[in-house]
Amino acid sequence: MHLAAGPAGPGVSFAESTVRRATSRRRGDYNGEAMARTDRWKGAGTPRPLRSRRFAGSAPVPLEEAARRLGVRPEPRLRAAVRRLPLRFTPAFLDLVDPGDPGDPLRKIAWPGPDEAGADPGGIPDPVGESRLHPHPLLVRKYPDRVVFLVTTRCPVYCRFCFRAPPGREPTDRDLSGALDVLAGLAAGRDGRPLREVILSGGDPLFLADDRVAGLVARVAAIPGIRSVRIHTRVPVVDPPRVTDGLARRLEEAGAGRLRWLGLHLAHPRELSPAFDRAAAALAGCGLRLGAQVVLLRGVNDHPAILRELFLGLWERGIAAWYLHHPDRVPGAAGFRVSIAEGKRLWRTLRGTLPGPALPAYVLDLPDGSGKVPVDWLEPGDGVGAWRVRRPGGGESVYVERGIE
């Protein structure tokens, strides 16, 4: 049952055995873990809004077919790569990939590269410094006035540069209820820092079934003191049929006027497809404002013309471009990394070709957990690859580049 399990068996190739195991579960990730052993949550005393099927969206494409459409073949190195992060593909995402292009940027996002499972001296186990910022295992509080709520570990398509790999165990009802209790205490300012915003993230919150994600939004929005709820998602890009008018209405109703923004994660202008436009229109039609953030990725979008097309496309659609993120030092993701110097040169070129409202902030999320800073603030430090930056709240952080190809 496990993609990373033992030998394929006599007369059976690794690729064949991988496909047989991986495609035996209709909705499972290609890592041998059951995605949902039951379609009902069993927590005793759980409030009704959280009782629903766990997940929704398009059924995953079987690995054999996905590999064919991506123009690749399953190889033995997948055994190690999927221990770090599962494989999963939707029909809509595969429609975006050109199987005849060996350097297709979208394939690079979702299919393991040749060095993903190898040694990575530039990787950091906690690349954005979240490990010390958990008032609850499902909550991340990097800034005093807002918290990220990790409501699921699952995604319809897994991006190989994700800084939350490996995804870990899916939260139970008890986990989520405990996090909600902690949120209520934080919103009340019991620690002297009142909370005003909660960001639902994961994983991808819109991969959860309608009842489930709407129930979570409603529970968060009902906490006294919470003035804003946000959802971060890649679903409109990788599984746009999942975003129905019904889902958009449920989210609007559940948010009770507090769910104001959805943050979309994009990487390439080809992702601005007609199907994406329909999904975005459904969300915007219910009064939800859309923002976007993009990670700068080598071999995907590290060229001014590509980013210009992407940011202009967002602007023309009325989607606010929030951030261009410098790539995090995620273990196994060395092939995506861009140097600070390269990023600064690209940014200077881009800045002169875009209207002001279409230009996002180019930021680095510091590994020490102190948060995002504009890359322009970084100054050369002492030593090879070292940069220093003064933080907005005072103090100085040092960032050292390693593992840049």
pLDDT confidence bin for 30, thresholds 50/70/90: low
Contact (Cβ atoms closer than 8 angstroms) between residue 166 and residue 83:
yes
**Taking residues 394-402, what's their average pLDDT?**
93
If one counts every other C-beta atom within 10 angstroms of the C-beta of residue 163, the result is 19
| pLDDT reported for residue 308 | 98
Beta bridge partners of 290: 262
pLDDT confidence bin for 31, thresholds 50/70/90: low
If one counts every other C-beta atom within 10 angstroms of the C-beta of residue 372, the result is 17
| pLDDT reported for residue 347 | 95
For residue 232, give the nearest of 267, 253, 203 by alpha carbon. Answer: 203
CA atoms within 13 A on the CB side of 45: 4
User: What is the pTM for the complete model shown?
Assistant: 0.88
Is the pLDDT assigned to residue 5 strictly greater than 50? no
pLDDT confidence bin for 75, thresholds 50/70/90: confident
pLDDT confidence bin for 246, thresholds 50/70/90: very high
Average pLDDT, the chain: 87
Contact (Cβ atoms closer than 8 angstroms) between residue 82 and residue 4:
yes
Contact (Cβ atoms closer than 8 angstroms) between residue 194 and residue 225:
yes
- On the 0-12 / 13-18 / 19+ scale of CB atoms within 10 A, 271 is buried
Is the peptide bond prior to 144 cis by the omega test (within 30 degrees of 0)? no
SS3 labels along the chain: CCCCCCCCCCCCCHHHHHHHHHCCCCCCCCCCCCCCCCCCCCCCCCCHHHCCCCECCCCCCCHHHHHHHHCCCCCCCHHHHHHHCCCCCCHHHHHCCCCCCCCCHHHHHHCCCCCCCCCCCCCCCCCCCCCCCCCECCEEEEECCEEEEECCCCCCCCCCCCCCCCCCCCCCHHHHHHHHHHHHHHHCCCCCCCCCEEEEECCCHHHECHHHHHHHHHHHHCCCCCCEEEEEECHHHHCHHHCCHHHHHHHHHHHCCCEEEEEEEECCHHHCCHHHHHHHHHHHCCCCEEEEEEECCCCCCCCHHHHHHHHHHHHHCCCEEEEEECCCCCCCCHHHCCCHHHHHHHHHHHHCCCCHHHCCEEEEEECCCCEEEEHHHCEECCCCCEEEEECCCCCEEEEECCCCC
Contact (Cβ atoms closer than 8 angstroms) between residue 236 and residue 87:
no
| pLDDT reported for residue 74 | 81
Question: What does the block give as tokens for 336?
Answer: 């995506």
Phi, then psi, of 121 in degrees rounded to 5: -65, -20
In this structure, are strands 228-233 and 197-201 parallel, antiparallel, or unpaired?
parallel
pLDDT confidence bin for 263, thresholds 50/70/90: very high
211, amino acid identity: D
More confident residue, 49 or 111: 111
Contact (Cβ atoms closer than 8 angstroms) between residue 52 and residue 41:
yes
**Taking residues 244-257, what's their average pLDDT?**
97
Phi, then psi, of 400 in degrees rounded to 5: -120, 125
| pLDDT reported for residue 141 | 97
**Taking residues 164-172, what's their average pLDDT?**
91
pLDDT confidence bin for 28, thresholds 50/70/90: low
Is the pLDDT assigned to residue 76 strictly greater than 90? no
| pLDDT reported for residue 83 | 86
| Distance separating the N- and C-terminal Cα atoms of the chain | 36
| pLDDT reported for residue 334 | 95
At 185-225, the pLDDT tens digits run: 999 998 889 999 999 999 999 999 999 999 999 999 999 99
In angstroms, the CA 269 to CA 292 distance is 12
Find the length of the chain. Answer: 405
In angstroms, the CA 202 to CA 154 distance is 7
